[in-house]
Structure 1
Amino acid sequence: MTLKRALAALALLGGLGAPAEAQMTLRIAMTASDIPTATGMPNNGFEGMRFLGYPVFESLVLWDLDRTDRPAGLRPGLATRWEQAADDPKTWIFHLREGVAFHDGAPFDADAVIWNLDRYFRNDSPHFEAPAAGITRARVPLLATYRKIDDRTVAITTTQAASYFPYMAVYILFTSPRSFAAAGGDWSKVAALPAAGTGPFRITRVAPREAVDLARNDAYWDADRRARVERVRLMPIPEANARLAALRAGQVDWIEVPASDGIPSLKAAGFAVATGSYPHVWPWMYNIGAKDSPLKDVRVRQALNYCIDRDGIVALLNGTAEPALGWLKAGDPNFGAPQNRYGFDPAKGRALLAQAGFDAAKPLRFGVMVSTSGSGQMLPMPMNEYLQENLKQACGVEVSFTVVEWQVLLNSGRAGPDSPSLQGAMALNISSPSSDAGVMARYFASDRFPPNGFNFPNWRDGAFDAAMTQLAGSTDPQAVAAATRAAHERLVDDPPWLYVVHDLNARAMSPRVTGFVSPQSWFLDLTRVGMK
């Protein structure tokens, strides 16, 4: 979308000269190139979950976003409590909240839970939704079976004992069964109804490529968390400069990822620019499994991690990121003590490449699939172009790019290593949360190759798998921490990714926006936000 086209669309969607009602709407510019799907399991990665997931469609377990002094944990959601069954650590019992209704008045109960689980996990279900199932299964790869115990209780059994399963359950969202029935049993028509969830906001209008409008749910089950703002408008504006121009023109109130070179002028003009450290990493995911991948050699993977100038990327982003030396941040107590401490060391990088057979006469060459924008991608084209030149100058590595839309890139992350859809790419630039052991398991465990997880590299490391097995089977905090450290040390020393930066979750807002708090989480609590 060009800047001119983006601003023209904004003028029609609540910009300058809009009616007073639209002016009182909190208007948010997302990085996505289209609105997330609106049937109850949004696409567009975690940006879709951030804005059209949890605010509208909730899960049994929710993120606790009240604290800012530590990474977000979990809190009760549509379930008031949960526990592992006394006779089977693979089975989790969820006790459902009383008195909850979907936005369309349908009751939330065990039947609704089973109906939604069938939607995601039962291919022969009459209401199976393939796109939503693909997203959910990749995020919750351990789910095996489930059953209703009574109207307020359900049991979910996993394929293996996993102490971190609640951190996976947080990604199962619930839609009213009446939404599907009202659309004549056609998921492609559900969004236009619109679809009903249980969250603090309800959808009122869906306009593909333009906007989704939300309204406060005044009957929300948690009276203490009813939203302050009456309406929210979500708009996809993938170009950073277009988002910046829209904010300056008063056509939106909030933008995700402001263009880094515009941050000083925004602050000077009185706009608020929020940043905060949180568990998230911007990497290249190596394609180790491809037949002729040069990245099968661990020395090549380590070399690339020594060849990049992370401080230069941070400077490019005007300080809105910090160097990534592993999947976790270097100051995280679970980072461990790996043998490798990555930094900008071209000599060491070139030496490792030479050991692997690559030098000036035979340079390392490979392609990377990247996106123009998207969830957590910050400014992907300038960043990737910087890395391209950096690798060429520092270590003689020649990188080419295949540029696609964000959702196409996400879909590629669930492809096989030699899939034609990858167009020969030996790495994917997909940002990732690093919030918990459940995420670690589905990105790196050797039994989580796509489509059963997000281990796109097809990476195998026996010591990592052993540590994750120990972690999954233990509930002792000290044992869990020790296993997490051991696992992370392997992620550094036998790297499946090129670790570039941890972003600082930058967003800019009009002075009219009040009450925003930046938790240490990819997600946020829109109910605390107001307008003046």
Structure 2
Amino acid sequence: MLQSRVARPRRLALIGLTGALALSLSACAESERDSGGGGGEGGTMVFGAAGAPSNFDPFYASDGETFRVTRQMFENLVGLKPGTAELEPELAKSWESNEDGTTWTFELQEGVTFHDGTPFDGDAVCANFERMYTQTGAGASPALAYYWVENFGGFADTDAPSLYESCEATGETTVELTLSRFTADFPTMLSQDSFAMQSPGAMDEHKANDVKSQGDSFVFSDYAREHPTGTGPFTFGGYDEANGTITLNRNDDYWGEKAKLNELIFRIIPNETARKQALEAGDIDGYDFPSPSDWAALEEAGYTVEIRDPFNILYLGITQKNNPALKELKVRQALAHALDRETLVSSVMPADSEVAKQFYPPTVDGYADDVQEYPHDPDKARDLLAEAGYEDLTVELWYPTQVTRPYLPNPEAVFGALREDLEAAGITVEPVSKPWAGGYIDDIEATRAQLFLLGWTGDYNSPNNFIGTFFGTPENQFYTAGSPWGDDLAGALDDADTIVDDAERETAYQDINRDLMSEYLPAIPLSHSPPAVVVSPEVEGLVPSPLTKEEFSTVTISE
């Protein structure tokens, strides 16, 4: 994976998991976490997981099913206020930076230990960052150290520059992190699951870095398979691969408010219909991403359907280099006018979905209220095509199969609606469908598509995490390949991320959003849709997260 021009690598706009609010340079937060707490309601919750975890070392993971499990065992320096994308203290109770935002001092919680008894202190924090920074071999591949590469850049033994410079424990509960430059995304990026704090003792004992590549897959260490060790409210109980179950146990020595469940089990059920049937049979107590078509029936049957606030974007991607017409701004504007997004949202997308006017939700910093809009107008679309000399435009429209995403719960239905709109404006549509993990994503990254459906769930509340991810790096050249302005756009995004002043940075991102919708239009934003999680009537206390980042320590199961 290529690095960005200023060593600010970002994640491809294909999957998304978690997030938080950016803080100003003088930010200093105080913890409100209860250091006591009893818990003790007891009981077992069984949650239906859509897939197996890749492993249990969050540093070597990038998928939601792995993070759903590891999130219950591990904690980060900074966390998220439940039910929001707002940053709050976790293992660090406060933090502040120097004037230029390159040196950050974290004050740590006192009296915290990892599950194996190893103290959590400044030395443990630095051991974690040095372990991440000094990865070699397979451990340093973007396929494994995904979030490090996308957020921090290079490693100690590579020539690629890194955002990380050093870590020093200046006291037992004080640590100083030094960065190579300012970025508006720090420390919010530390809320991502891959940067959880892990026991240095357990990682050493069970050789956490002993990971090897084997063809297209990896062989993980004993630590990653059998001994994941964090500070969180649950401890690892075991993974029964034959039965597809992962067991976590309550950590009775937890430093904060203890989990209310005695036991948390994840049962792997890949098929969504099978998960629904397991819920109805009482075999599981909940599952994620129920089909929107099932929401009403589930609620009528007495189940609780928790609808999250949307923190995502679905868009129609455009690869300009494969069709000369798509290089023309008027043609891309014609496509935007051809699409009836209001009807798409009201008839195809889940309830409470919203039409997207730009490439991230209004709750994200830098949102501009006055961007150019493209109301549904087939006649206007025809006129623009004629002005551009493409009255008889033919385009390929790609959509994925064998997948549902939070922003794309029914790919075939969305494809059908868009195809109908385009054809109503006189555009000939040639459909192309491929399995999500069977060629669709690979072909889009290889710039083989023309028009394609894709989206993103934010990792944290930052414009950089949305439009910087989409358009700011060479990795995502499929958006701007063939355009004369791709470097200008990436440069503007680079510059905005380095602006220290909050108000000035906000203005810069608003300007970029205006240009994206008027001067560039590299894709067409379609919708923001709220994914749901469903649980049985006996489940109480689950707080839905807009970033699909739920924690289960607050859950109780009534008899």
Q: How does 1:251-330 map to 2 (within 5 A)?
A: 251-288=283-320, 295-310=326-341, 311-329=343-361
- Structure 1 residue 241: Cα displacement: 2.5
Q: Tell me the TM-score normalised to structure 2 length.
A: 0.75
Distance 1:520 1:128, change over 3 A: closer
Per-residue CA distance 1:330-381 (angstroms, 9 max, x = gap):
6878432444213433333344444444433x41225455661356543334
Matched-pair contact (CA < 8 Å) for 2:395–2:450: no
Partner of 1:29: 48
Distance 2:205 2:325 in 1: 52
Distance 1:24 1:390, change over 3 A: farther
Per-residue CA distance 1:420-454 (angstroms, 9 max, x = gap):
xxx657646242317223413641463x332xxx6
Distance 1:75 1:90 in 2: 20
Partner of 2:506: 481
Distance 1:513 1:425, change over 3 A: farther
Partner of 2:199: 176
Helix, strand or coil for the counterpart of 1:255?
Answer: strand
Structure 2 residue 255 is matched with structure 1 residue 221: yes
- Structure 1 residue 24: Cα displacement: 4.3
Partner of 1:11: none
Partner of 2:224: 191
The aligned amino acid for 1:63 is L
Partner of 1:247: 279
Match of 2:535 among 509, 520, 530: 509
- Structure 1 residue 399: Cα displacement: 4.7
Distance 2:555 2:232 in 1: 15
Partner of 1:132: 144
The aligned amino acid for 2:251 is N
Helix, strand or coil for the counterpart of 1:336?
Answer: coil
Q: How does 1:68-217 map to 2 (within 5 A)?
A: 71-86=84-99, 88-124=100-136, 131-141=143-153, 143-150=163-170, 151-171=172-192, 172-184=195-207, 186-187=210-211, 188-189=220-221, 190-208=223-241, 210-217=244-251
More deviation in 241-250 or 124-133?
A: 124-133
Structure 2 residue 396 is matched with structure 1 residue 383: no
Distance 2:109 2:310 in 1: 30
Structure 2 residue 404 is matched with structure 1 residue 373: yes
Helix, strand or coil for the counterpart of 1:214?
Answer: strand
Matched-pair contact (CA < 8 Å) for 1:309–1:390: yes
Matched-pair contact (CA < 8 Å) for 1:59–1:170: yes
Distance 1:486 1:508 in 2: 40
Match of 2:58 among 35, 40, 44: 40
Per-residue CA distance 1:301-322 (angstroms, 9 max, x = gap):
4333333333334422441522
Paired residues, number: 488
- Structure 1 residue 514: Cα displacement: 0.6
Distance 1:270 1:312, change over 3 A: same
Which runs of 5 or more structure 2 residues have no equivalent in the other structure? 1-41, 154-161, 212-219
Distance 1:490 1:341 in 2: 12
Distance 1:529 1:334, change over 3 A: same
The aligned amino acid for 1:283 is Y
- Structure 1 residue 161: Cα displacement: 1.8
More deviation in 391-400 or 74-83?
A: 391-400
Distance 1:278 1:170 in 2: 19
Distance 2:62 2:136 in 1: 26
Matched-pair contact (CA < 8 Å) for 2:399–2:412: no
Which runs of 5 or more structure 1 residues have no equivalent in the other structure? 1-22
Distance 1:255 1:168, change over 3 A: same
Matched-pair contact (CA < 8 Å) for 1:368–1:425: no
Per-residue CA distance 1:164-214 (angstroms, 9 max, x = gap):
311212222232234443444534133331311222222222245933222
Q: Tell me the TM-score normalised to structure 1 length.
A: 0.79
- Structure 1 residue 513: Cα displacement: 0.8
Distance 2:122 2:405 in 1: 35
Matched-pair contact (CA < 8 Å) for 2:352–2:530: yes
Matched-pair contact (CA < 8 Å) for 1:302–1:495: yes
The aligned amino acid for 1:199 is G
Partner of 2:74: 57
Distance 1:344 1:437, change over 3 A: same
- Structure 1 residue 158: Cα displacement: 3.5
The aligned amino acid for 1:505 is P
Matched-pair contact (CA < 8 Å) for 1:369–1:425: no
